[in-house]
Structure formats: C-alpha cells, structure tokens
Amino acid sequence: MWAATAAASASSPAVPPPPRRDYASLFARGKNGGCPPLFLAPMEGLGDARLRRSLSLSVGGFDEACREFTRVPGTLSQGAKAEKLLRGIALNGYDAEELSRPANASLMGSNPDLLEHCARVLARETRAPRVDLNCGCPANVVTGKGAGSSLLRDPNDVYACVSAIRRGCEGTGCVPTLKLRSGYDDDSLLRENLLAAQEGGAAFVTLHPRTRRQGYSGRANWKDIAIAVETLDVPVIGNGDVTSPERARALLFETGCAGIMVGRGAVQDPLVFRRIKAELRAGDWSEGGGGAASSSSSFGLTPAEEASEVVRFLRAFAAEVFADDLLISPRKRRRKLKGGAAAEEQFKLGKLKQIVKYLFAGNASLSPHLSRVLSCDSIDNGITAREMLDVVCDLVATSWDTPTDVLVDAFSMRTSYEGGRLLV
C-alpha cells in the first residue's frame, strides 16, 4: 500500500536545493577506505546538550551529534492555536547553534500532519541539517500513544510519517532521516519497514538492532544491520554496543554499514571516537582483521595523556552542569528553585554521578572506586559537587586505564553493581 501511495504522491520540486550537510561526501569517506562518519547517539536524560557540548569542546572526534527527540502530540486540543502551538513544540529544546556544527533535529510522534508541520518549522526556521523520525523509543508511555517503536508494527505508518517529514523539509535542503529498532515484538517486519522508510524519502537510516521487547538487554543483533545494508539503496548507519575500535571495525566488516553511531560507549570512554578514527584510518577495515592499527593501544597517547584528556572532558562537563540553568526545562527549574541551594547541589552531584557511573564501570582500575564516589552526598556527608569533581578527576588522573570492552546497561545500572564492582 505504501508503495502505491509513494508513486502517487511524489511531488519533489524540479531542482531540489543542495543538502545543508554534505552527507554524500561523508559517507563516501568510508567507501574510499577512510573512516566512515561517526555519530554521537541521542540519549535522552544522559546525552543531553551538556554532554554533547562538553564532548565537542574537549575531546571531540565525532562527525555529528544527534539530539534526543522532541515529542509531537497525537492530537491538538480543540480550539488550540495550532500554528503557534506547533511552532513552540517544534522549536522547544532544539538549538541549532548549540555546537559549532548543528546537530540533527529529531521528532517523535505518530500524527503525519503534525509531524509535517513541525518538520517544516525546523527546516525553515533553523539550520537543522536533517529531521530524524524516532522509531525506536521503547517506553510504554510513548508506545501507548502509537509513537516511537510502535510505528514499527505497520510499515504503512512508517511510510506515512517519514513522507510527512519529507514534505515538511521540501525545498529547504534539510533532509528527512529515520532511526529505528529491528521491530516491535520481533524483527519480522524489518525489511518492510526499511523499504517503507526509503520510499517515504529517508536520505539514510540508523538501525539499533534490538526489538522494542528487548529494550537494552542482550547483545545488539548486527545481522539485522547487514540485512538493512542489503535491502536498501540509501546509506545505513549501524548502531548498538560499539564500545571500542575493535568493535567498530567488526561492525563495519560484518555489516558493510556506511557509518557508525555510538551512545553509551562514548560515556564509558569519551575518547572512543578518536580511537575509532585512528584505527579505521590506519588499517584497511574492509579486510576485517587487524590492519596497520588493530588495537586500542595504537591510539597514540600514553595512559597519562589519555587520563588528562578525560579529565579535560570531565571539567568541561562539570562547567556545563555548574553554569547550566538555561538548559533546564522550566518545570525542573521551578522544582529546583523550590528546594533551594541544597536541591541545586544535589542536582549537580546527580548529573556528575550519572557520567561517573559509566566512566568508572568501563574501566577496570576505576570501578573499585565507584561506590565511594556514588556515596558522595551534599546532605548526608556535606560534599559539594565541586569537591566530588576534584575527587573524580584525581582518581582518573592516577588510575585511568584503557577501558575494558564491557557495555553498561543504563536501565539496570543499580542492579549491575555490587560493592562498587560491575556485574556483567
């Protein structure tokens, strides 16, 4: 059905404007034996603007940062001033100037008309290089409203929503893209969903090969990424469980994907993008095995230099958190102000701990110190966020090791630790 609709509704302008970002050259880089483009994954609550900015301002290494989603409602209340409301929704939280190069915009919703309208606002009023449709969020509160990964239950819905975003972007040079999981309960509709996205006009797709049912458990099934590459003409970005240059190389070799997206691995090891770039530039990854550079140790920095880079990132992140009031949603800011200075200190400690959990868990020499750091508390033991930051930076400076290849599961963090040690 979506194939027929696609043919009927194709109405591109005669000469489409050039894309705002030269994705074609970016993907060609990988084809020509260089390092394929590297994307920092969207991670709501963890990978927010603070993380994107601090990584970008300190250690860098990625080609594009991806924004967490903006939620587009399924319906508008009666009598709502639709134009004004949707403009507010579309622009809420998206700041094209947050980095030196604009991050993508990402929409999550299920109503094609409203998605189209929001995409149009983003494409016309911001420098967004692309508007991505979220087809991955597994949260019940989202899927219950037919959005996120629940679109994957019907390729017609995927087609309708991607083509709505394409219409919204038309005539601007901003391109529509899609980020999806392998499926809802299983991956039986994977090919159909991928083709629906391509026919809908997605310039490329990012696949996180777990189903909604899997959440973040088990291993990402990279075979689904290979299926996507085989099925589609547009580029496929592979995502899921990349925590080291070795795993990046393996992902490319096993799937032939055109780019790599890293999420949790970049918090565990802020240098992971630079490691991957060094590895994939130096070796012929198309051969799969080790090229000239085949292990993390070939990155070129001594452990002490690595440690000081990580400290630089931590201090940049803390600077974002300590100065950040503008980045907090008005609702959270009200709550924070209500609690006064103590609540503000707890908030800062909480944000630092969130990063430290990942950073220490992936590092054999640091993980034994994790429970001590997590027990820092401004109320119970009077430790301020700045004091905790100094403790953490000292530990990193003295104990940093090349991170071990474990993957921290964000959603079972608490149960994954015992006595400060990661249980895998």
Ligand X SMILES: Cc1cc2nc3c(=O)[nH]c(=O)nc-3n(C[C@H](O)[C@H](O)[C@H](O)COP(=O)(O)O)c2cc1C
Q: Which of 215, 143, 161, 222 is CA-nearest to residue 190?
A: 222
> Token pair for residue 186?
């299983």
Residue facing ligand X at closest CB distance? 263
Shortest separation between residue 137's beta carbon and ligand X, angstroms: 6
Nearer to ligand X, 136 or 183 (CB): 136
The Cα–Cα gap between 205 and 192 comes to: 14
Residue 161 CB partners (closer than 8 Å, separation 6+):
109, 110, 112, 115, 133, 135, 151, 200
Shortest separation between residue 383's beta carbon and ligand X, angstroms: 25
Nearer to ligand X, 2 or 62 (CB): 62
**Greatest Cα pair distance in the chain:** 67
Nearer to ligand X, 157 or 345 (CB): 157
> Token pair for residue 172?
């601007």
The Cα–Cα gap between 200 and 12 comes to: 12
Shortest separation between residue 300's beta carbon and ligand X, angstroms: 24
State the catalytic residues.
Answer: 137
Shortest separation between residue 95's beta carbon and ligand X, angstroms: 16
Contact 370, 361 (CB under 8 A): yes
Shortest separation between residue 54's beta carbon and ligand X, angstroms: 16
Contact 272, 266 (CB under 8 A): yes
> Token pair for residue 4?
């027929």
> Token pair for residue 341?
């200075």
The CA-atom distances, in angstroms, between 42 and each of 117, 244, 289 are 22, 18, 30
Nearer to ligand X, 241 or 345 (CB): 241
Residue ranges in contact with ligand X by CB under 6 A: 41-46, 68-69, 134, 136, 179, 208, 239-242, 262-265, 410
Nearer to ligand X, 206 or 402 (CB): 206
